[in-house]
Chains A and B, each alone.
Chain A
Amino acid sequence: MSNAAPMAETVQPILSINNIEVIYDHVILVLKGVSLTVPQGGITALLGANGAGKTTTLKAISNLLQAERGAVTKGNILFEGNEIQSLSPNELVRRGCIQVMEGRHCFGHLSVEDNLMTGAFTRRDGASAIRQDLDMVYEYFPRLKVRRTSQAGYTSGGEQQMTAIGRALMSRPKMILLDEPSMGLAPQLVEEIFEIVRKLNEEQGVSFLLAEQNTNVALRYAKYGYILESGRIVLDGEAHALRENEDVKEFYLGIGGEGRRSFKDVKHYKRRKRWLA
């Protein structure tokens, strides 16, 4: 199989979300009809400001919502063509879809290596295969190999992010839901992490759905992007097209546009009402 071949239209996307609505605590409506797809082997970015619903979208997919008393009340989510809303996170990881949570969430008192090994919890293919993957993770993140015996809680933010991604890799995922990998990291480290994401995508064939506030970096590495605003997708397109889009430039990339000073002037996005389609 060649990676270079352009993705045919008929190929089933690895993930497709159709018009989901998410409600927390039975009253707080957070996602108001979000639809998006991630193609096989794609890197798709989910962009938006604080509170737009990026994390909620990812958690709706990985089914970690339940732990926060949220629920998908409408729409459906397909992973490789199968509905997954009723699956436990554990079953989902087994099927190859794993989330790397915002803020790393390493196991602070476990060593870096133990952290990585917890990622293999769902695997049944034997110690030597797991060992092999551990070596692979160390190849991608040489720094983790150096720090393998340190308690994860005492490692740097960048190392923790690497640990979190490495830990997810240990589950042999087909798809990683990556939430704010750039959070709190120096620009150079952000670049390093995204480079690794790209390598994993190209060499291991892992698909990514990236939730990011750092629109600039995310759109350079992603192939496709969706922009989320107050629980709705307001704009989507090829990453390079989004980068050129005047509104995106102005509101997310901070490159000054002429004449428009208020969100009122871009209301026309909302009229597209993709969520009714």
Chain B
Amino acid sequence: MDFLNSILIKPFADMFGAPDFLMQVLWEGLVSGVLYALIALGFVLIYKSSRIFNFAQGIMVVFAALTLVGLHEKGVPAWLALPLTLGVMYLLAMSIERVVLRPLVNQPDIILFMATIGITLFLIGFGEIIFGGENKVMITEQLGIPTGSWEFEPFGGFLSIEQRDVTAVVGAVLLVAALLLFLNKSKMGRAIRALGDDHQAALSVGISLSTIWVVVWFIAGVIALATGIVWGSRAGVSFALEVIAYKALPVLMLGGLESVLGAIVGGLAIGILEKLFEIYWGQPILGGNTETWFAFVLALIVLLFRPQGLFGERIIERV
């Protein structure tokens, strides 16, 4: 009885007992959720357009953040380092297309997947040679991101919101909105969606694979940079940052590998749910640290009932 009480009643009593704290938890969850969603979007775009599960997405986050910080360390002003980093990500996309994807076109998926592992290893080594392996501090202030925090007193309690997080959320929302607009309204976006639907037909109408791949990998690079800035400013820039990409895996399982909407909703859901679970169930009952596995268990449960993920594209079958 006591046990049931601690699972079913007490957490909710706590939530409503201290709504200000609940809001704080939800906000923190939302912020990490936005980041998960961003990373998942990088995966989804590449998967949609080339059926490649891009193992290198995580290291791209690190590489982008390292490039930005590294350039700044070498004396490049922050406002210039940002576009330069974008340029580097574009070059990276082009080289990946040229050196890895083009020679491997029409190979089985697993070979392309292995190739992205190769890209990961290469970027780890290359990044270390150029920028060194030690931890770095993200140039948050230099980029003009505010670092203070706002404090509120809702319901007579206390709520603290870091301006950095607000910037991250607003930035991510803008990025996603731009991306959706691009995918749905532009010629290139239409071609990307077409490629996701039917590879051969896309080729037959003259859609150029190499152009699309460069564009898609570049977008993934931009997303990686955005994630790198936000996450780097919270946790520092190091190769350990790579693991946040694995946090996107349950998001992908939950949202479906091909669904842009799924990545967004899945990311937010996992971010918020894992925080709620940690605070109200994990810490009191399980001794905490549930955030590392909660998302995977949730994804597993979803997969049991919906193998294509919550938002996986419905397979259209006509007879």
Contacts and interface: CB of A to CB of B under 8 A. Distances in A.
Given A105-B200, A118-B202, A153-B318, A90 B208 contact: yes
A55 to B, nearest CB: 12
Interface stretch (B73-81, B152-160, B185-193, B283-291): B185-193
Contacts of B207: 90, 118, 121
A167 B187 CA distance: 14
Interface of A: 62, 64, 66-69, 88-90, 92-94, 98-101, 105-110, 114-115, 117-122, 151, 153-154, 157, 164, 167-168, 171
Contact of A151 (B105, B201, B203, B316): B316
A92 B208 CA distance: 11
Contacts of A107: 193-194, 197-198, 201-202
A96 B207 CA distance: 14
A120 B198 CA distance: 16
Contacts of A105: 198, 200-201, 204
B204 A98 contact: yes
Q: How large is the interface on B (under 10, 10 to 19, 20 to 34, 35 or more residues)?
A: 20 to 34
Nearest to A151: B316
A93 B191 CA distance: 15
A66 B102 CA distance: 13
Interface of B: 105-106, 187, 190-191, 193-194, 196-209, 313, 316, 318
Contacts of A154: 316, 318
Contacts of B202: 107, 118
A235 B209 CA distance: 38
A107 B205 CA distance: 11
Contacts of B209: 90
B205 A117 contact: no
A210 to B, nearest CB: 16
B200 A64 contact: yes
The 7 closest A-B pairs by CB, nearest first: A93-B206, A153-B316, A105-B201, A107-B197, A122-B206, A90-B208, A107-B194
B204 A89 contact: yes
A124 B253 CA distance: 39
Nearest to A164: B201
Contact of A89 (B190, B196, B206, B318): B206
Contacts of B196: 109
20 contacts: A68-B106, A89-B203, A90-B206, A90-B209, A100-B204, A105-B198, A105-B201, A106-B198, A107-B201, A109-B316, A110-B194, A110-B197, A117-B187, A118-B190, A118-B205, A119-B205, A119-B206, A153-B316, A157-B318, A171-B205
B106 A69 contact: yes
Central interface residue in B191, B194, B202, by most chain A CB within 10 Å? B194
Contact of A64 (B193, B198, B204, B318): B204
A168 B187 contact: no
A106 B201 contact: yes
A109 B205 contact: no
A108 B197 contact: yes
A99 B191 contact: no
A13 B297 CA distance: 64
A118 B316 contact: no
B7 to A, nearest CB: 41
Central interface residue in A93, A99, A100, A107, by most chain B CB within 10 Å? A107
Given A69-B106, A107-B194, A109-B197, A93 B205 contact: yes
Nearest to B187: A121
Contacts of A121: 187, 191, 205-208
B316 A108 contact: yes
A164 B202 CA distance: 11
Contacts of A153: 316, 318
A62 to B, nearest CB: 7
Given A93-B205, A119-B205, A114 B316 contact: no
A147 to B, nearest CB: 14
Contacts of B203: 64, 67, 89-90
B198 A108 contact: yes
Contacts of A109: 193, 196-197, 313, 316
Given A101-B201, A105-B201, A106-B198, A171 B206 contact: yes
Contacts of B106: 66-69
A104 to B, nearest CB: 8
A109 B193 CA distance: 8
A114 B197 CA distance: 12
A149 B162 CA distance: 44
A100 B208 CA distance: 17
A102 B217 CA distance: 31
Nearest to B196: A109
Given A117-B187, A151-B316, A99 B194 contact: no
A116 to B, nearest CB: 10
A167 B202 CA distance: 11
Contacts of B199: 67
Contacts of A120: 187
A181 to B, nearest CB: 14
B52 to A, nearest CB: 16
